[in-house]
Each structure stands twice: as C-alpha cells, then as structure tokens.
C-alpha cells in the first residue's frame, strides 16, 4: 500500500489560524526552534518571517510530501515537485506571513517542526495523517504574543502558542486529565472533551481518536489496520482503500470499481476518473458531491476539497467547520460545539448543532426534551420518545405501535410507518406491495414505479438500477429521461 502526505491540508489549516482579527500589535516576532529541536539548519535572516516559515515549515513539508507521494497513485509529479509545493505552501500562507511581519501573530518554528514530524509519523497506507494529529499539533503554531492572563482578541491561541483565548482572556492550554475543547498543552490529545494520553497497541478503546496514531480502534482494541494480503473479518479491519475479501485485505486503490461499496473504508469509486477506486479527497483535490474526507468539504465554486476551518477562523461557505467545531450563527466564526445554555451552532443542515446528548430548543442547546415537552428543532426527543405533531405543537411522547394515531413517522415505533390515509401507525410493507407516499417501504426499501402505471415497494436501488427520487448510500437518482442511480461523486 502506498502513502502520501497532503501538504496543503496543513498549510490551509495554518492559513486559517492567522485569519482572525488581531490583538493590539506587539513587536514583530518569529520564535526560533528551542535548543536541540530537530529542525533543518537553514541560513536565514533573523526576523524575516517569510524566510523562517519557508525554511522551518514549507520546504521540509514539501520535500517530505514529494518523497512519499511519488509512488502513491496520484497524478504524475513534476521534476520540480519540491519547488512547486514549497511555492504553493508559501502562497497559501501569504496572509499569515504578512500578519507575522506586522507583529499581529507569532509563528513558532519549533511547533511547526513538531506538526510536520508527527503528521508524517502518523500516516499509514493511503490514509491522510489522522485529523486528530493535525488538529492537536498544528493550530497553535500561529498565536498572538499576549501573555497569560492578558486580554486577547479573536485569535484562537495566545501566549506564543502556550495559551488559548477564552472569553476575551488568555488562559493556559489544558493539560492531561483537564477538560478541553480542541487542543491540549502537553502531549495528550483532546478526546471526548478531556485531555487524555494516547492509548498504545493492545489497549482498550471506543474510537480511533483514543489510539496512538496511526493505530485504529478495532474490536474495542487499539491496533494496526491490516494491509494488503493480511487477514481480516470486515472492511473496517483494513487500511484505507482496501477491502476484506475472502478473509484477506485486498488493495483496491487504482482498481476498476462498479459502485461505492467496492473500494473499502475511506475510499470512493470515481466514475469521472474512469471508474476506479481512489482515497477520499483532501486539500486541493478535485471533488464532486461528498467525495472529500471528513476534515474537508467540497467547495463547489472551485470544484476542489478545502480544509474545514478550525475554531477562531471564519466558517467556510458560511456553515463548514472542522470536525468537533461549529459555526457561530451570529459571528460566522468557527468555535467549539455549543454546550448547555449556549446558542445552537450552525452546520450544513441548519442551526442544529449542540454537544453530544443535547438538543437545540428555541435556538439554545439544552437537555434532550422529555415526555410532554416540546421536541428539539430536528424533531428529536430523549430516550425512545418520538415527536408527536399535534395542534398544540410538536411534543415528545412514547412511540406508538400498530394502530396508534399519528401525524408523521416520528411517533411510530420501529418497523412501522404513519399511514397518511388512515393516520395510524402501520407495519412496513413487503416487497411488491403497492405504495403511494414513499414512507411505506422501510429504511431498506423504496417506492418505485412497477412498470404498470403503479408504485410498489422494492429493494433500495443500487448503482445502475432504475430509481424514483432515492437510491442507496453514496448514490444519486439522476433525473433524466430514464432515471438511474449513479455515484454521487460524479454530480
């Protein structure tokens, strides 16, 4: 399996870190590496931010990314790869370089070295360096020099990278065992809201973020994803771009594919590229639909993947922020996902985002509503309660079984739907049964024309199958003369 480092993912992250309104400008400052730090010894003029940033960040990153990308299956690399990528990195960071030169922010060359080094070390197979590594190690490379305890502006980090700005005041970054929003001030990672030490191979886990990168959480244990030819039980056991076939992981990158399920975890079947498997898109790569990975979004104006901004940076397209962050509806700036009592965050589906376990109620995050309380804005309720649409409003109530009164599917028990003709909860219909409203066939079925002028329940259409409005995961019903399901990435 080949690997690559996506240079512009980290460059774009740093560019966003320097984009907020600055604090009152101190003297221009580019902090050198600490004594003993393993940073390439390059002769640069002291205090020249462009030279320092190129020497300590852009050039090492470009050279490393070119070295590992030559055999990764990407587009052919030019002989001037390192020069081209260095120039691209410097172009991405123009605004940051200007801000450093004007004394608005500090660039920490030692932290930049750690950012690049840990991102490289955390790669595995065709996977991009895990977002948890980049997000935990790279943002504080750019900060203001406002000391701890001093007032600070909108820039996320202060105290030259050792503090964060909270409620207008520079406070220390949290340490091991302390609550956190995004990053920690030591070698721990912010996992489930607490700074925690990464778990080594063989340790118990719940999710990938708890494991030492690039380990993954496999069967509740931190371990290495399996490469080409290794034994497996399911696709999730294999590295990105490989599938578990007949008990062994098989590399699918560059192989011909027929649909989105044929390329393994973290990869897509790209019809526009000749119907071949490729890793999900990252910074600067061409995209369509949902073909970018979770740390990026598809900028439809440019047709390329762009990094989701970190807290402190303006939201992209007015809604997009990095995983674990939300767009503030009033300021248009990314911040931590709102907690109880805070205004709901804005995401791609609307002002619905709240911390895990909370719901958006009248624009404010709060506990999920209980029985007879008004439903959350997205019709959710606590526990197994359903949202009942009534003349008095939407209220949380116990879900109803077969024969129970209903106005929508939300109040019907699993395995049933709301029959809009009878306004009663009714069992999902079997394949071949006539349908009219589209909700009768269950989550695995679809209401399709039966060829005789009627509609009937049928299995959810797969790629190439005839469709009527809906298709299986990763597919779109292309509305042409004879609509069929096609890969969403192509539209």
Same domain, 420 and 461: no
- 26 inside domain: no
Same domain, 422 and 457: no
pLDDT tens column, 227-262: 778 888 777 778 777 778 888 888 777 776 665 566
Model confidence at 397, in pLDDT bands (50, 70, 90)?
A: very high
- Specify whether the backbone of 255 is left (phi greater than 0), alpha (psi in -120 to 50) or beta: beta
CA distance 314 to 293: 20
pLDDT tens column, 37-79: 443 333 334 568 888 888 888 888 788 777 766 655 444 456 7
pLDDT tens column, 446-464: 888 776 667 888 888 776 6
Which of the given ranges, 236-240, 247-251, 299-303, 314-318, has the highest pLDDT on average?
A: 247-251
Residue that finishes a domain, picked among 376, 398, 427: 427
> Beta strand pairing status for 157-158 and 163-166?
antiparallel
In DSSP terms, which residues pair with 457 in a beta bridge?
A: 447
pLDDT of residue 260: 55
pLDDT of residue 488: 44
pLDDT of residue 124: 56
CA distance 477 to 45: 58
Average pLDDT over residues 90-103: 82
133 or 445, which is more confident: 445
- 453 inside domain: yes
- 361 inside domain: no
User: Residue 135 pLDDT > 70, yes or no?
Assistant: no
Q: Residue 339 half-sphere exposure, CB side, CA atoms within 13 Å?
A: 5
Handedness of CA 252, 255, 258, 259 (dihedral sign): positive
Whole-number mean pLDDT of the chain? 74
pLDDT tens column, 136-159: 667 778 888 888 999 887 677 888
- 117 inside domain: no
Distances (CA, A) of 250 to 258, 278, 321, 491: 16, 14, 34, 28
- 267 inside domain: no
Quote the domain boundaries for residue 458.
Answer: 445-490
pLDDT tens column, 110-134: 888 877 777 777 665 445 555 556 6
CA distance 352 to 99: 34
Average pLDDT over residues 379-390: 89
pLDDT of residue 373: 92
CB 341 within 8 A of CB 366: yes
Model confidence at 411, in pLDDT bands (50, 70, 90)?
A: very high
Distances (CA, A) of 351 to 102, 329, 451: 37, 7, 42
Give the percent of the chain with pLDDT over 70.
Answer: 70
Model confidence at 34, in pLDDT bands (50, 70, 90)?
A: very low
CA distance 61 to 8: 9
CA distance 368 to 360: 8
CA distance 72 to 452: 51
pLDDT of residue 126: 45
pLDDT of residue 222: 86
pLDDT tens column, 178-200: 888 778 877 788 877 788 888 88
For residue 262, count other CB atoms closer than 10 A to its CB: 16
Average pLDDT over residues 6-25: 45
Give the percent of the chain with pLDDT over 90.
Answer: 9
- 455 inside domain: yes
Model confidence at 400, in pLDDT bands (50, 70, 90)?
A: very high
- Specify whether the backbone of 35 is left (phi greater than 0), alpha (psi in -120 to 50) or beta: beta
CB 286 within 8 A of CB 303: yes
Number of structural domains (the chain) is: 2
Average pLDDT over residues 391-405: 91
Among 89, 18, 22, smallest CA distance to 53 is for 89
pLDDT of residue 122: 66
Greatest Cα pair distance, the chain, in angstroms, is 80
User: Residue 398 pLDDT > 90, yes or no?
Assistant: yes
- 212 inside domain: no
Average pLDDT over residues 289-307: 73
pLDDT tens column, 265-277: 667 666 555 567 7
CA distance 115 to 134: 7
Average pLDDT over residues 472-490: 56
CB 68 within 8 A of CB 129: no
Same domain, 375 and 421: yes
Distances (CA, A) of 419 to 145, 405, 435: 63, 9, 10
User: Residue 211 pLDDT > 90, yes or no?
Assistant: no
Distances (CA, A) of 392 to 165, 283, 381: 44, 48, 17
CA distance 252 to 401: 45
- 395 inside domain: yes
- For 91, list phi and psi in degrees, rounded to 5: -65, -40
Residue that finishes a domain, picked among 379, 396, 427: 427
pLDDT of residue 472: 67
Q: CATH number for the domain including 416?
A: 2.10.80
Same domain, 423 and 455: no
Same domain, 380 and 417: yes
40 or 312, which is more confident: 312
């Amino acid at each position: 399996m080949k690997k690559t480092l996506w240079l512009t993912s980290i460059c774009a992250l740093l560019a966003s870190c320097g984009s907020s309104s600055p604090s009152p400008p101190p003297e221009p400052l580019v902090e050198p590496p600490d004594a003993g730090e393993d940073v390439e010894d390059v002769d640069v003029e002291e205090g020249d931010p462009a030279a320092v940033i190129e020497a300590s960040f852009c050039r090492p990153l470009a050279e490393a990314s070119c070295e590992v990308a030559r055999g990764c299956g990407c587009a052919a690399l030019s002989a001037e790869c390192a020069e081209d990528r260095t120039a691209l990195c410097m172009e991405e960071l123009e605004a940051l370089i200007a801000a450093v030169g004007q004394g608005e922010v500090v660039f920490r060359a030692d932290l930049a070295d750690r950012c690049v080094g840990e991102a490289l070390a955390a790669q595995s197979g065709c996977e991009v360096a895990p977002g948890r590594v980049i997000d935990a190690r790279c943002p504080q490379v750019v900060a203001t020099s406002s000391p701890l305890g001093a007032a600070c502006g909108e820039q996320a980090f202060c105290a030259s990278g050792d503090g964060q700005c909270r409620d207008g005041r520079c406070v220390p970054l949290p340490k091991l065992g302390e609550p956190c929003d995004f990053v920690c001030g030591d070698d721990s990672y912010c996992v489930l809201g607490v700074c925690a030490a990464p778990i080594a191979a063989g340790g118990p886990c719940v999710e990938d973020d708890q494991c030492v990168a690039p380990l993954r959480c496999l069967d509740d244990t931190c371990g290495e994803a399996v490469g080409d030819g290794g034994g497996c039980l399911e696709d999730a056991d294999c590295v990105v771009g490989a599938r578990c076939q007949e008990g062994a992981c098989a590399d699918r990158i560059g192989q011909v594919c027929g649909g989105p399920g044929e390329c393994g975890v973290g990869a897509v079947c790209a019809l526009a590229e000749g119907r071949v498997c490729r890793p999900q898109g990252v910074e600067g790569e061409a995209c369509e639909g949902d073909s970018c990975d979770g740390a990026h979004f598809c900028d439809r104006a440019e047709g390329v993947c762009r990094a989701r901004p970190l807290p402190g940076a303006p939201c992209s397209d007015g809604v997009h922020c990095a995983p674990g962050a939300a767009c503030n509806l009033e300021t248009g700036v990314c911040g931590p996902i709102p907690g109880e009592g805070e205004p709901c965050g804005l995401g791609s589906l609307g002002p619905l985002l709240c911390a895990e376990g909370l719901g958006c109620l009248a624009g404010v995050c709060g506990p999920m509503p209980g029985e007879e309380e008004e439903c959350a804005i997205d019709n959710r309720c606590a526990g197994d309660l359903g949202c009942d649409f009534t003349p008095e409003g939407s209220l949380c109530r116990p879900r109803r079984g077969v024969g129970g009164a209903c106005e929508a599917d939300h109040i019907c028990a699993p395995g049933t739907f709301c029959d809009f003709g009878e306004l009663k909860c009714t069992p999902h219909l079997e394949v071949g049964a006539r349908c009219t409203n589209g909700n009768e066939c269950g989550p695995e079925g679809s209401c399709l024309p039966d060829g005789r002028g009627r509609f009937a329940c049928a299995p959810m259409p797969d790629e190439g199958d005839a469709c009527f409005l809906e298709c299986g995961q990763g597919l779109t019903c292309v509305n042409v003369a004879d609509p069929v399901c096609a890969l969403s990435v192509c539209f």
